[in-house]
Chains A and B, each alone.
Chain A
Amino acid sequence: MTPGRVVVVGASLAGLSACEALRQLGYNGALTMIGEEPKAPYDRPPLSKSVLDGRKGLSDIVFRTRDHYLKLGIELRTGVRAESVDFNLRQVCTTEDTVSFDGLIIATGSLPRRLQHPMDMKGVFYLRTWNDCMRLKAAFSHCRRLAIVGGGFIGAEVASSARKLGIDVTIIDAQRIPFSNALGAEVAQRCVNLHQKHRVRFCGGSGVDEIIGTSVVEGVRLMNGSIIPADTVVVGIGVFPNTSWLTGSGLDLENGINCNEYCLTTFPGVFASGDVANWPNPKFERRMRVEHWSNAKAQGRLVARNMLSEERAMTPYDTVPYFWSDQYDAKLQCAGYPIGSEETKIVCEDDQYGRLVAIYRRDDRIVAVTTLNNPLHLSRYMKLIDNRASWTEALAYAKSIS
């Protein structure tokens, strides 16, 4: 199929990657990318790291100049929010106008989950966008005591950046060992040790009752009654797919946008990509929705290719998810799908270099690997996962290189 007019809703990595791939593949029809944020697409991972600690600015993280979009014939409409879509008329309604499409790529990403507190309470922050990051960075200049609600990767990276600036940090998490939902208890404990070495306090095992303060935040009260005093609170309790604007459109919106293995929705010529897409990944024989950088990039390219193909010639999105997290001087990398695994095995540990390699089993297969400071092993085990290697093969490989 060669659509006459393609509209991409969402102007971040997944949307950009799709637009560029469409042009690379020879699509020369009209191409419009609509994004709610005022900035041209930029790289988000540095927001919790090098932008927050002051090493990088906007020009370092913007993906492309405005000229680039002109040159590629991509109409980039920033500061415009898509509000609904009509699949019969094949139109997207935005805050400014109505845009018709033949092909549509939905890549609206995710939004941070929020805690209940007065919206205007000063000193409470979420981190998703450039503007969020600038507000938090400004707060850091006079912050003395920071409480982070949520022991996930955003929280851990914010903690790392705050410690570099000499701020006192406490991480609060409902799990006894933060990170353990994502990585399993063994690896999570190593991450906790790393933060403790950098004098971050952990408050695990109790959820948050409320953020206390009147107009300005004063601290966080936990379910167990204790109070963590803080002049600044960062909430990093996960994200949810940004699909509320599609309610009533006819799309199946259970945990993102339900699509098939080609990332095609139930409407012809309508694809989902990035954080919003929930698709059956043939590599793992299960549905997933992945919120990582690498997924946004690769899935964007794939939906572009599939949009230009007849359905019988489409390529399934058969992928091994990958993400990383930089904390202090440690590099944590994870490939595969550790959630729901049945066994975790540490196959390499080297305290001198802070190296660690853990592999994860589900049924008789290796389904994930997590490494600390060991990108070489990450790449090797990731290849095994990509080749759908058995657990026995993975263990034999571990033995052969130890």
Chain B
Amino acid sequence: MRVKIDPTVCQAHAQCVMIAPEVFALNDAQDVAIVLQEFPPESLHDVVLEAVSACPVQAISVTED
């Protein structure tokens, strides 16, 4: 699994940071989320998918990679 955030879409709702703090964080200015683990281990795939679903602006994409 490969995780990406589109920084032009992200509005820092931080729902991904709440759901999967191992994979997502906020930048210092707190205006956009960043990916900490682009290739998260399988044990985190479910929470990543939950974060994708919870994002109010659909800024997170997941690809098979």
Q: Do A and B bind each other?
A: yes
Q: Is B30 close to A, CB under 8 A?
A: yes
Q: Which of B12, B15, B18, B21 contacts A331 (CB 8 A)?
A: B12
CA distance A333 to B17 in the complex (A): 14
Q: Does B45 contact A (CB under 8 A)?
A: no
Residue A40 CB within 8 A of the other chain: no
Please determine whether A45 and B17 come into contact, CB atoms closer than 8 angstroms.
no
Say yes or no: B54 contacts A297, CB within 8 Å.
Answer: yes
User: Complex Cα distance A298/B55, Å?
Assistant: 11
- Chain B residues lying within 8 Å of A297, measured Cβ to Cβ, are 53-54, 56
Interface residues of B in 3-33 (CB under 8 A from A): 11-15, 17-18, 21, 26, 30
Asked if A375 CB lies within 8 Å of chain B CBs, one says yes
A386 to B21, CA, bound (A): 14
- Report the bound CA distance from A293 to B13 in whole Å: 12
A375 touches B30 (CB 8 A): yes
Asked if A125 is at the interface (CB within 8 A of a chain B CB), the reply is no
**Contact between A375 and B12, CB atoms less than 8 A apart:** yes
Least CB distance, A327 to chain B, in whole angstroms: 13
Task: Tell me, rounded to whole Å, the shortest Cβ–Cβ distance linking B32 to chain A.
Answer: 10
Knowing A324-B13, A331-B12 touch, does A383 contact B18 (C-beta < 8 A)? Answer: yes
In the bound complex, CA of A318 to CA of B21 (Å)? 20
Partner of A324, one of B17, B21, B26, B56: B56
Nearest first, the 3 closest Cβ-Cβ pairs linking A and B are A375-B14, A379-B18, A379-B14
Known A-B contacts: A45-B56, A297-B54, A379-B26. Give 10 more (CB < 8 A).
A294-B15, A294-B56, A298-B54, A331-B11, A375-B12, A375-B26, A375-B30, A376-B14, A376-B30, A383-B18
26 sampled A-B residue pairs with Cβ under 8 A: A45-B56, A293-B56, A294-B15, A294-B56, A297-B53, A297-B54, A298-B53, A298-B54, A324-B13, A331-B11, A333-B14, A374-B30, A375-B12, A375-B13, A375-B17, A375-B30, A376-B14, A379-B14, A379-B15, A379-B17, A379-B18, A379-B21, A379-B26, A380-B18, A382-B18, A383-B21
